[in-house]
Amino acid sequence: MSSANAKRSRRAAFGDEDEEGDGVTIVQASSSLRNDTQRKKARTSNAGPSKQSAWTSRQESDESTSEDEAMQEAPEEPPTPPGPTQYETLRDAEFKHLEHTDLDDQRATQRLKNRPHILGENQVALNAIIESIVCCNFMCHTKLVVSLGPLINFIVGENGSGKSAVLTAITLCLGGKASATNRGGSLRSFVKEGQENASLTVQIKNQGPDAYKPDQYGESIFVERHFSKSGSSGFRVKSATGKTISTKKSDVDDIVEYYCLQVDNPLNVLSQDNARQFLNAASPAAKYKYFVQGTQLEQLDQDYQLLQETLEANEMRLLVFEENIEFLKEKSEKAVKLRDALTKSAEMRRQSKVYMNQLAWAQVMEQEAILQQKEDAIRAAQDEINQMETTIVEKTEDLEAIDRKVQEAKQAVDALRLEEGQLKESEEEAKSKYLKAKELVAKTHTQERDIHQQITNASARVKDYEKKIREEERRLEEMNGGALAKKQNELEDAKRAVEDIRESQKTHAERSASLADERNEAQKKAEDFEEVVAQKRREVSEAKSRLQTLSQNRTDPFAGFDRKVPELLRLIDRDDGFSKKPIGPIGLHIQLLKPKWSSIIEKILGGTLSAFIVTSKPDQVRLSSLMDRLGVRNCQIYIGSKTPINSLREPDRNLDTILRVLKIDDPCVRDQLIIHHHIEQTILIEDREEGERVMFGDQPPENASICLTFHDVRRGHGLRLTRRGRDIATSPVTPNYEQKPRMKSDDVESQINYFRDSVDQLGEELRELETSKRALQQTVQRSVQAINQHKKQEANFEKDLRIAQARVTHIEEELDKFEGADNKLLGLKNELHEAQGQKDHYGNQFGELAMQKQEMNREVESLQHKHSEAKVALKDYRAKVAKAEDKVKRFEETRRVTLVEKNQAYENLALAKAGKEEAEASRQRQADHVANYIQQASEVAPERAYIPEGETVKSIERKFESIKDQLKKIRSRLGASDEEIQNRATQAVQEYREAKKAHKNLTSLVDELKKALMDRLRKWRTFQRLISAHARCNFNYLLSERGFRGELFLDHRAKRLRVQVEPDETRKSSSGRNTKTLSGGEKSFSSICLLLAIWDAMGSPLRCLDEFDVFMDNVNRAISTNMLITTARRSVGKQFILITPNAIEGRANIDKDVRIIRLIDPRQRLLTGH
């Protein structure tokens, strides 16, 4: 617990406030009528008075028959007090706040139990500690220096050693009265015999956070008081460095009151006589007086009584004021009537002069108003000039930006055109290769016909030789019988079988290529279809995701934008540096009227929906810096034109356009979409065929540059149809399903239902595609199976051919046996064999040529496909070029519009300057005219007359003529001079006003005093109740330290404090004995307990007690001394100065917080030379 918190705290006495708000925190119980500079006032809570009583008559038990009870004296009967005054009745409020003494005692006891027990841990306060006292020529001491400890001080010494002089010096040096010390009636009596002057010095510790003016005084304050035999007296307040800060007693009082030292409090500095009276001989009335003085209840009561007397005196003054005010009112009314009669004519003459002056200057004001209009016209012209100059600067910047865009667009066109030659060369090269391959196929076809003719000729020769061989064989058969013929027939059959097998192989080989082509084609179709199915799956997934996002974020307008956009908008709203607040994101300002076009229009408008619009380059830079700070990406910033686009070239009203299906709440947003996307010329037609008919027909619609249609099959996809002259183009519009919707819809549910239908249709399309995919996979499997079967059959043909050729060889060997010497047949057979060889040769050539032709046909198809691709690439390239050229045209059109606006601004600037010159010339003429009027008016009235609002020259002129007529009719007949009548009226009115004001102020003062008095009395009663309960409980608690029990009776009604003590706590039936029946030690011990109980209820950091143990025996002296030390240690941070002529050692628990100061008799100091 710091000293700052412990210093002057009354929480040790009362604890924290309980649940009923009866707790009180008191820093100082002091009068509020004193000087309050840097004072620490007594504070009580605002809780209302408790319905408790302070005095309940205790019934004393008659059952005890002990000797002590028999000796107990009857309670002293107080004299009958006079009846209570009105103030006392108001203050005490029938003592209702003291009706519940038991409850008050219970709470006070609880607070005592709950207070911390920190014996042995006493701490030194940082301020309000008296560190030393120096007395010069004071009483019987030439120089007495006493250095005090910060906590517990025992000053021990023989009589005359200066013990009591220490307390007297503290009281006098800190501003106390001489009579309060009981040592003398005036200061001169304290000057040492034989000396003329005396001085006292007290050093006060001044440290810590709540030190008194530490900047001036430092860590110590020295208070000096000088006085003399002649009666003069003075103070001097010094800082720690010895510098004199003040010589005023009021400053000493401020310091004493700030630290609540209370040197005038008889219980705070208990002198020798007061201690003897309080501890031994005080009556109940005297003890009560000590109690109310020590707790400052009496001082507060006196202050409040003074306040009540002041209040009553002021109420009496109010009655006198009310009578006087009526008299002064009648007096002032009569004087005013007489003055009005006097001043009527004079007032009218003055008014006539005023009207004449106003008439002259009113004409000046009329001319000045005209001059002001011309000044306003000049300012308006200058404002228009400034505006036009600003517009010119902005349009110049816009033109520079547009020129850059035009240049960039043209460079893009030039870059594209560089690709034209390469693409044309690729197309021509592909075409050349295709034509060459086609020509080669034609030549091969011619060769095929020639070889076919050679085969036909060779076949004829073979047949001729075969005929001749048959005839020769017939001739030989006739010669050799029928065996040869039979063998020859067998040979023919065997050869025919070989030819049949070879023919079958040939046919089978021709089928092999077609089967491979069928398989490859089926595999290619399946692979291509696999990509289509995967794409459709992605579309279904993206559509479902888009539907889910739209359903979840139907109430979040920022779902489709960067997540930092809401924070960006808040920064923009708080930023006052923009010339005009940016608009954006653009999508927030657009409402889609037809949700079915949502995905296509989102794709067409693209990043523009996330863009912002500003009106100047500085605003663009400022907004860009905000985006960079937040990390917002992919948000373009457009600089919008201040001139709206009013003339639009739109197609027929029967056609929907993007502009017509959008509801845009800001014209700047609409203009940007028109500039960048031509939304006013982009028509919307749901059916593709209808769109192609409209766009590609003989008469395309006017002002329609683009047509958007739905895809025939793929729901949500679209087609972009364009036509520029004879060039027509169709390109797909593929929606970005990953992008969440950024445009609002007037019917979100309709938009959700549309996307739900799209998901359903895409799912149906996916299922159809998967069915077709499975059919293609089955076709591939059948093709593979056919190829495998074909290869198996080819192996069988090879086997059959080998068998047939072996049979031919066998038969020929048998025929050789029938051949004779005639070689004619052999020659014919050789020729046949040669002819057959030629036939086979041509046949092989024909077969190879057929295979070559088939390969060439495939190559021609490939080259034809490449040629088509080259044509498509060239077509796409031309479309890109057309788009780039269209972009150049749009930028050039924007440049043209901006240039027109800039030229118009120059024209307006020239007109504004001409208008300003004309207005300045007119202003100068009017200024000369006004100067002439002012000169004429000054001749009438040198100073400008005030013209009331709403008055004109004609109205003032009418008033002037009217008052001239009235002045002719007025005649004054008065009984006194003008000056006397004026003075009497002025004086009477002034007296009446001052009386009313004084009455009002006094009434207010009385009301405030009543309110303050009632509030202070309520707090006084609360303070009286709680401090009484605390004293009672603490007294009983201190008695218990020695095993005593007793009671403290506080009768606030009779103003008595009575103590009953029972030294034997085992006598439970006894109510206690009067202190007069106690032994001397018991009586002193009980008085010490009473004093400590009252001390604990006081808020001063200083406790002084002189000769407390004079009438005690050694046992009670030791107990009392230890009790004082224990109590002092519980009062953390407080300084105790205890004076005794007896030795302390051996009868007290002395620790480092106890300082024993021994004083020597001055006579002994004289003898010892000290």
Model pLDDT for residues 334-365, shown as the tens digit of each residue: 777 767 766 666 666 677 778 788 778 888 88
Identify whether the C-beta of residue 231 lies closer than 8 Å to the C-beta of residue 186.
yes
Amino acid, res. 704: A
Residue 221 has pLDDT above 90, yes or no: yes
- pLDDT category, 164, cuts 50, 70, 90? confident
Token digits of residue 1137:
């100065």
Identify whether the C-beta of residue 818 lies closer than 8 Å to the C-beta of residue 402.
no
Beta strand extents in 571-703 (DSSP E only): 590-592, 612-614, 637-639, 656-657, 662-664, 682-684
Give the three-class secondary structure for 136.
strand
Token digits of residue 906:
């120059």
Percentage of residues of the chain with pLDDT beyond 90: 3
Question: Out of 116-130, 267-281, 347-361, 969-983, which region has the weakest mean confidence (pLDDT)?
Answer: 969-983
Residue 382 has pLDDT above 70, yes or no: yes
- pLDDT category, 73, cuts 50, 70, 90? very low
Identify whether the C-beta of residue 995 lies closer than 8 Å to the C-beta of residue 325.
yes
Question: Out of 129-138, 176-185, 309-318, 399-408, which region has the weakest mean confidence (pLDDT)?
Answer: 176-185
Q: What is the largest CA-CA distance in the chain?
A: 205
Residue 861 has pLDDT above 90, yes or no: no
pLDDT on residue 308: 83
- pTM for the whole structure: 0.41
> What gap in Å lies between CA 45 and CA 102, rounded to an integer?
21
- Tokens 């120059």 sit at which residue? 906
End-to-end CA distance of the chain: 42
Mean pLDDT calculated for residue range 320-328: 80
Range picked from 465-469, 650-654, 799-803 for highest mean pLDDT: 650-654
> What are the φ and ψ backbone dihedral angles of 1073, each rounded to 5 degrees?
-115, 155
Mean pLDDT calculated for residue range 387-405: 85
Q: Of the candidates 186, 144, 150, which has an alpha carbon nearest to the alpha carbon of residue 169?
A: 144
pLDDT, tens digit, for every residue of 554-584? 556 777 778 888 888 888 888 888 888 899 8
DSSP for 1040-1108, written as a single string? GGGT-EEEEEEETTTTEEEEEEES-TT-TT---EEGGGS-HHHHHHHHHHHHHHHHHT---SEEEEEST
Give the three-class secondary structure for 591.
strand
Mean pLDDT calculated for residue range 1035-1046: 77
- pLDDT category, 106, cuts 50, 70, 90? confident
Angle formed at CA 291 by CA 289 and CA 292, multiple of 5 degrees: 70
Identify whether the C-beta of residue 127 lies closer than 8 Å to the C-beta of residue 211.
yes
Residue 1086 has pLDDT above 70, yes or no: yes
> What gap in Å lies between CA 953 and CA 365, rounded to an integer?
9
Amino acid, res. 1000: K
Residue 377 has pLDDT above 80, yes or no: yes
Token digits of residue 1133:
């941070």
> What gap in Å lies between CA 787 and CA 176, rounded to an integer?
134
Question: Out of 374-378, 899-903, 949-953, 1105-1109, which region has the weakest mean confidence (pLDDT)?
Answer: 1105-1109
Mean pLDDT calculated for residue range 270-279: 65
- pLDDT category, 977, cuts 50, 70, 90? low
Give the three-class secondary structure for 573.
helix
Angle formed at CA 326 by CA 982 and CA 316, multiple of 5 degrees: 125
pLDDT, tens digit, for every residue of 479-519? 655 666 677 777 788 778 878 887 877 777 777 777 777 77
Question: Out of 47-56, 288-297, 608-617, which region has the weakest mean confidence (pLDDT)?
Answer: 47-56
What are the beta bridge partners of residue 153? Answer: 1137, 1155
Identify whether the C-beta of residue 349 lies closer than 8 Å to the C-beta of residue 967.
yes
Mean pLDDT calculated for residue range 635-660: 84
- pLDDT category, 158, cuts 50, 70, 90? confident
Angle formed at CA 462 by CA 458 and CA 467, multiple of 5 degrees: 150
The whole-angstrom distance between residue 524's C-alpha and the CA centroid of its chain comes to 63
Q: Of the candidates 906, 1135, 1001, 1169, which has an alpha carbon nearest to the alpha carbon of residue 261?
A: 1135
pLDDT on residue 198: 92
Residue 1129 has pLDDT above 50, yes or no: yes
**Higher-scoring residue by pLDDT: 418, 926:** 926
DSSP for 619-648, written as a single string? HHHHHHHHHHHHT--S--EEE--SS-----
> What gap in Å lies between CA 1041 and CA 1045, rounded to an integer?
9
Burial of 672 (0-12, 13-18, 19+ CB in 10 A): buried
Residue 224 has pLDDT above 60, yes or no: yes
- pLDDT category, 235, cuts 50, 70, 90? very high
Token digits of residue 986:
């002025």
- Looking at every residue in the chain, the average pLDDT score rounds to 76
> What gap in Å lies between CA 548 and CA 372, rounded to an integer?
67
- pLDDT category, 38, cuts 50, 70, 90? very low
Mean pLDDT calculated for residue range 253-271: 79
CB atoms inside a 10 Å sphere around CB 386: 12
Residue 936 has pLDDT above 80, yes or no: yes
Q: Of the candidates 873, 867, 868, 874, which has an alpha carbon nearest to the alpha carbon of residue 431?
A: 867
Range picked from 453-462, 518-527, 687-696 for highest mean pLDDT: 687-696
Q: Of the candidates 266, 275, 67, which has an alpha carbon nearest to the alpha carbon of residue 1112?
A: 275
What are the beta bridge partners of residue 1157? Answer: 155
> What gap in Å lies between CA 241 and CA 206, rounded to an integer?
13
pLDDT on residue 277: 66
Q: Which residue pairs from 640-643 have beta carbons closer than 8 angstroms and sit at least 24 positions apart in sequence?
A: 640/583, 640/613, 640/614, 640/615, 640/668, 640/671, 640/672, 641/398, 641/671, 641/898, 641/901, 642/391, 642/394, 642/615, 643/901
Residue 935 has pLDDT above 50, yes or no: yes
> What gap in Å lies between CA 302 and CA 293, rounded to an integer?
11
What is the radius of gyration, based on Cα positions, of the chain? 64
Q: What separation in angstroms does the CA of 1116 have from each of 172, 1042, 1092, 1120?
A: 33, 10, 15, 6
